[in-house]
Structure 1
Amino acid sequence: MFKKIILRMFLMSFVSFYGQSITVNTTTYTVPQLVQNVLFGATAQNSCAGGVTNITWSTGSNFNSTNGIGYFQNTNPNFPLANGVILSTGNVLSAAGPNSGTQSNGSGNWPGDTQLFNYIDGLGIDADLNSYNNATVLEFDFVPFSSSMSFDFLFASEEYGTFQCDFSDAFAFFLTDVTAGTAPINLALVPNTNTPIAVTTIRNNANNNACPSANSQYFGLFNGGTAATTASNNFNGQTVKMTAQSAVVPFNNYHIKLVIADRNDSQYDSAVFLGGGSFNVGTADISGTGIYSNTHSFLIAEGNAVCPNKTLQLKASATPIPNITYTWEKNNVILPGETSYNLTVTTEGTYKANLIFSPTCIQSDECVVEYNSELDLTTPTATQSTICQSSSTFNLNQFVPIILNGLSAADYEVFFYTSSANAQAGTNHITNLNAYPGTDNQTIYVSVTDLIGSNCTEYRQFQLHINPLSDAVVSGTATVNLNSSSPSVTFTGSGGVAPYTFTYNINGGTSQQITTTTGNSVSIPVPTNTLG
């Protein structure tokens, strides 16, 4: 008995969670607020920044019929939109679940939409189309400040199931570039096609086997049969959540018309649900430029940190926005004089861009900038980079381990150049490394690139030196004390710098060498058998 009670409670909780229906009302927001505060987000910030104006609408309540525009909320995971705006061909309040009966609301004096009719009729895809009725329309103008716009939506209809083979209400999202004066385009299309979305173009024949499926991957749920009592909404079927999107020209004026209507009669209503906060026409969005183009964070952990001793150019939006004010902050402190849409960064910190459209309309975005640590590189000393005049070339390869200072040569790429400009550009590096014909006091420029970490390149420089050959002379007459137990002769070298290597022989015998690291003189022992 105890187990049965637990199981029953679990099933009741499960049904309650997945059986929750959407809620719909027409009083929380006015229609302009539905556009500004709902479609564009929780506040009016995005809509004021997007220049939303000229909001108009038409629905049944304009013709003494039912209201087809409202606000919905949802907590049912079977319905993929949390909240938003619903446009219906019937009474919007009847859209809430469960699927308890057929919605066929709307009077005969509630007209259709001429633009929608001409569009569908012109495509030649519905031979039996005579008219559209009960049209709900929502229109407004906006100004994008990015190169794309988009919003989420879902289509639902009572015609799924019984009538899905050959009968479908219609809807469209007509977008017009007013500035360019181009013809409207419909954004409500089956993905990757030019086919308008409808019951007949997105369907699953599991719900009616009298016709084959069409683009069934975009069909979401059938709310009829046993699913009716736990359905989130009062329509027989619904698509998956989809996204309407289009390329746009930043700062052009655009007009969008969202329209849905019943086909040929006023029966079997349909609706389109528009995702709250999903209408995106561009926002404040900090990113880098140059090699950091389209990068929005600059963290060591993500491999995007800035290279040592380099500057970073940030921009607050895709392109400069006219007639607004920019301000920048670093670590929550306003940067004086920084009022451009871009900012030059030279140090780490948290940077924030504020786009001020008006005192009550401000968009902001921020990013964290980190710098990679400088490599612990060294350069050859004068002694290490010196050859004698008798040698004709330098071996630059021998300087690589000196420069890397213990770093693995397999992890770093080292190039040598004859000019700083070439080193910075990474062009015309020295290729004859083992036998480079350098000159005295010539500056060699080095680039070292991290191949396994930051991919940063650092630069160093050093000089080549050539010591001229020294002349060894005997200073005067060498006098040797016969009574000395270790007689010697002193030689003095002139020219050059230490260390000196003295090569000598006695009476034409085998050559011998003595090297001194300091001074320019050396005493050479004289064998006593040479004295006389």
Structure 2
Amino acid sequence: MIKYILTSFFLLFLISSKGQLVVSQTGTVAQWVQNILTGTGVSVSNVTYTGDLQSIAKFTTGANATTLGMTDGLILCTGNATQVAGAASTFASTSTSGGSDPLLANLITFTINDAAILEFDFVPLSDTVKFKYIFGSEEYPEFSLSSFNDVFGFFISGYNPSGGMYTNQNVALLPGTSTAVSIANINNGTWGTGPCVNCSYYVNNSASPYVAYDAYTTPLYATFLVVPCFTYHIKLVIGDASDAIFDSGVFLEANSFSSNTVNLSTTTTNSIDTMAIEGCNNAIVRIQIPYITPVDKVLYYATSGDAINGVDYVYLPGTVTIPAGSDSTSILIEPIIDGINEGLEYIELFVATSSCTYDTLTIYIADNKTLECNLPSDTVLCNSDTMTINPNIVGGYLPYSYTWSTGDTTSTLLSDPSITTTYTLTITDICNTDTFDQIIIYDGSPQIVIIGDSVCSNDTAHISAV
């Protein structure tokens, strides 16, 4: 058996492209694991590969995702990985230099050949690790119930949070069971016509122009509980059973090997500013994990800064819960309006993202700007004169709304009163703060008063304007 430590060994360039599935072997296995397979919340080290170099590769489907249910990742197989990128009418079958594996040999009673083994250490930052995979084979459907039942497993070693240790525990299981995923456990009978065994996980690929395997599983998840911040070891291995032909393979989705780590982001209740504002704009700290938690997940946080908890903003208790069945929650920061000119204040929020890591966010709090409305001075209009009343508004936060005593809601008002009139304008900003001002416009038109009610010929009349 040949073993390669792939921290400095570079694979030769090999690439296969048929249809939309593109398989490539450029780079090193260590690079593929670190840069393609690994997602958020885990750190990976000590990557090794044991087996024939042609049995491991990276893949992508481009714009057309075929029927796989994944667009890119790694392939671990019992033959030549580049042959997987072919129509189902082609035949992926290669005898390799890969040998047996004791863990696979413990799963079945038949000889293991062409084994391909990928191993690495990892440190999770949360209490759950999962990754997405698909198992496919040329043994489907003809040899579904025979001794030529190719086998694979994902074996975990490390601390079991329920007590004791995981020691090469297989986590490639049918969902919700302790049954290993295999050809015998997922198939539609010897000729694809039944009887059906877990057919909800079975995909007939016999007419596909993209992937050579005659059938494969639906996308499945390997999920297991861990103790955050401790080192674990995983061994991913696949082998031919009984013979060294009719290849099988496992697709591992890119960035899916991850733990349920916490990600932070901020927003505000109004779009007026990116910061919180006393009595107006609350800050919302959104806390998200990559996938839904099956139980309540309690997170701890602490605050510091020159803004005082419970004085400058509504008291924050220091814990927040992501409820079971959800993948997010939020912390609402509500600044208290105190009428004191304090200038810009800030809160430093420290959130424990795991038992060994934390993340920080800075939230700024601004004073609420005093809203003022000033109308022009009282004015006299004569005859048919008109006046546009244009207010001068200072402070507050846009947009403003306008309410005139006339019922108008425009930002200015055209005045042409026939009598002396008082106009009142109320201004309201987005913070629902309001203020008002008034203007009196006097009617300055002269009034004619006639003394007496008649004038005779050659008499004189007196007319007074008041």
TM-score above 0.5: yes
For 1:433-485, what per-residue CA distance to the aligned partner results, in whole angstroms no more than 9, with x for missing partners? Answer: xxxxxxxxxxxxxxxxxxxxxxxxxxxxxxxxxxxxxxxxxxxxxxxxxxxxx
Query: What residue number does 2:249 align with?
Result: 271
Paired residue for 1:232?
A: 210
Aligned equivalents of 2:76 and 2:104: distance in 1? 15
Distance in 2 of aligned mates of 1:173 and 1:218: 18
Structure 1 residues 379-394: aligned runs within 5 Å: none
User: Which residue of the partner structure matches residue 175 of structure 1?
Assistant: 156
Residue 259 to residue 308, structure 1, CA distance change in 2 (3 Å): same
- Which of these residues, 190, 195, 202, is aligned with residue 179 of structure 2? 195
Change (3 A) 1:347 1:274: farther
Separation (CA, whole Å) in 1 of partners of 2:190 and 2:141: 9
Residues 112/330 of structure 1: CA separation in 2 closer, same or farther (3 Å cut): same
* 1:305 Cα deviation after fit: 4.3
The corresponding residue for 1:117 is 105
| Secondary structure of the structure 2 residue equivalent to 1:183 | strand
| Bigger proportion of residues as strand | 2
1:57 to 49, 53, 58: 49
Verify: 1:294 aligned to 2:322, yes or no.
yes
1:347 and 1:316 mapped to 2: Cα distance?
26
Q: Structure 1: 5+ residue runs without aligned partners?
A: 1-18, 62-66, 122-128, 299-303, 332-344, 349-532
**Match among 50, 59, 79 for residue 90 of structure 1:** 79
CA distance in 2 between partners of 1:317 and 1:212 (Å): 51
Q: Deviation at 1:50?
A: 2.6
- Please report how far the alpha carbon of residue 309 of structure 1 lies from its aligned counterpart in structure 2 after TM superposition: 5.0
Deviations 1:48-107 (A, max 9, x none): x6331111111223xxxxx10000001234121110000010001101021232222024
Q: Check the 8 A contact 1:99/1:233 in 2, yes or no.
A: yes
CA distance in 2, matches of 1:294, 1:315: 17
List aligned pairs for 1:66-465, cutoff 5 A.
67-74=54-61, 75-107=64-96, 109-118=97-106, 120-121=107-108, 129-166=109-146, 167-177=148-158, 181-205=165-189, 207-209=191-193, 212-220=195-203, 222-224=204-206, 227=207, 230-286=208-264, 287=287, 292-294=320-322, 296=328, 298=330, 305-306=332-333, 309=336, 316-321=351-356, 327-330=360-363
User: Number of aligned pairs?
Assistant: 283
Cα displacement (A) at 1:294? 1.9
Query: Is the contact between residue 90 and residue 134 of structure 1 (CA under 8 Å) also seen in structure 2?
Result: yes
What is the distance in 1 between the residues matched to 2:243 and 2:167?
A: 29
Return the alpha-carbon distance in structure 2 between the equivalents of residues 239 and 219 of structure 1.
5
Structure 2 CA distance for partners of 1:207 and 1:143, relative to 1, 3 Å:
same
In the superposition, the TM-score normalised over structure 2's length comes to 0.55
Is the 2:159–2:226 Cα contact (8 Å) retained in structure 1? no
The structure-2 alpha-carbon separation of the partners of 1:76 and 1:181, relative to structure 1 and needing over 3 Å to count, comes to closer
**Between the two proteins, what is the percent identity of the paired residues?**
31
1:183 shift after superposition: 1.9
Please give the alpha-carbon distance, in whole angstroms, between the structure 2 residues aligned to 1:201 and 1:30: 33
Consecutive unaligned residues of structure 2, counting only runs of 5 or more, are 1-17, 265-286, 288-298, 301-316, 338-345, 369-466
> 1:227-262, CA deviations, whole angstroms, 9 ceiling, x for partnerless residues?
1xx432111101101111111110111000000000
